[in-house]
Structure 1
Amino acid sequence: MEAMDAMTLPARLAETREDFLALGVKDRLQLLLEFSNELPELPTRYADHPDLLERVLECQSPVYIFVELDDDGLVHMHATAPAESPTTRGFASILAQGLEGLTAEEVFGIPDDYPQSLGLGEAVSPLRVRGMTGMLGRAKRQLRERVAAA
């Protein structure tokens, strides 16, 4: 997927993509598992109100996300995924960390096929990669709603 221009990707997501592509297939899976251990904890305000989180139906595992736009116009994505679903949790972590602190315009500029560009197609099932694509799509949709409401 060399067509994806690194210039259009926010720095953290571009760096993550480069890290994955620099590795062999088995090591890519290991890196994804490392990301799964780095999924930020939900802020208490969401842990106490799971109704605020949206289920990502494209994921086989129960994954929930919520995207915020703060007063400075910066994006914060929160996600929860079960520990027994490490690949899905890893994808959620990549996005939560990658979108953190971006502007809405930067998030909207992320190519929809970013998950496919990580070279994980050989390491995990296409269904799992589709799940990450679903997370990104829902995050963008939630963000569009927040921008429209602001």
Structure 2
Amino acid sequence: MPLPTDAPEPVRAVLAEFAALPPTDRVTLLIEYGDELPSLPERYADPAASMERVTECQSPVYLAVTASADRPGGVDLFVSAPAQAPVTRGFAGLLHELTGQLDATQVAALPLDLPDHLGLDAAISPLRLRAMSGLLARVTRATAAAHR
């Protein structure tokens, strides 16, 4: 299923990066995105108390989306995902990267089937793909809510 041709350039670039690799290397690339996920600021030191739980994930994953103070019209995404869940953490890192390059309208409009376009279905379980879709759905909803 092709991604809409009007997808923002950063999304198309990420998808092209994944498409250029064999499936096993795609998983490695995704995990590398997780390695780049920044530490949480102090206000989110206790994710369970200060962030939204992503219940679609088996691991304890939490997120918060706020209007960006540095990028007018943008959002800041904060995600707590354990290192013991490298695929989920990797997708969180990928979303963090994308949200830093898109405005709130573009983030809220990200296609919910984006994980399907990464070409990981041969390398990871459907359960992990559903977790990625759940994380994305929560990011898009929280982004829309942060910019009402």
Q: CA offsets per residue over residues 88-107 of structure 1, 9 Å max, x none?
A: 11011111111125222111
Q: What is the match of residue 73 of structure 1?
A: 73
The answer (yes or no) to whether the contact 1:76–1:101 under 8 Å persists in 2 is no
* Cα distance in 2 between the residues matched to 1:14 and 1:81: 25
Q: Deviations over 1:41-96 (max 9, x none)?
A: 11222225652211101111111110111352211111011111111110111111
1:101-112 aligned at under 5 Å gives the runs 101-112=101-112
Aligned length: 146
1:140 aligns with 2:136: no
Distance 1:50 1:59 in 2: 14
SS at match of 1:20: helix
Contact 1:67 1:78 in 2 (8 A): yes
Separation in structure 2 between the aligned mates of residue 49 and residue 134 of structure 1, nearest angstrom: 18
2: CA distance, partners of 1:121 / 1:69: 33
TM-score for both structures, normalised by structure 2: 0.90
Which blocks of at least 5 consecutive residues in structure 2 are unaligned?
A: none
Who is 1:37 aligned against?
A: 35
Structure 1 segments unaligned to the other structure (5+ residues) = none
Report the secondary structure of 1:7's partner residue. Answer: coil
Identical residues among aligned pairs (%): 42
Indicate the residue corresponding to 1:26 in structure 2.
Answer: 24
Q: RMSD in angstroms over aligned alpha carbons?
A: 1.6
The residue matched to 2:79 in structure 1 has which SS?
Answer: strand
4+ residue segments displaced more than 3 Å: none
| CA distance in structure 2 between the aligned counterparts of 1:43 and 1:102, rounded to whole angstroms | 21
- TM-superposed deviation, 1:13: 2.4
Aligned pairs for 1:87-126 (under 5 A) are 87-126=87-126
Distance in 1 of aligned mates of 2:49 and 2:103? 25
Name the TM-score, length of structure 1 as normaliser: 0.89
Q: 44-53 or 94-103, which moves further after superposition?
A: 44-53
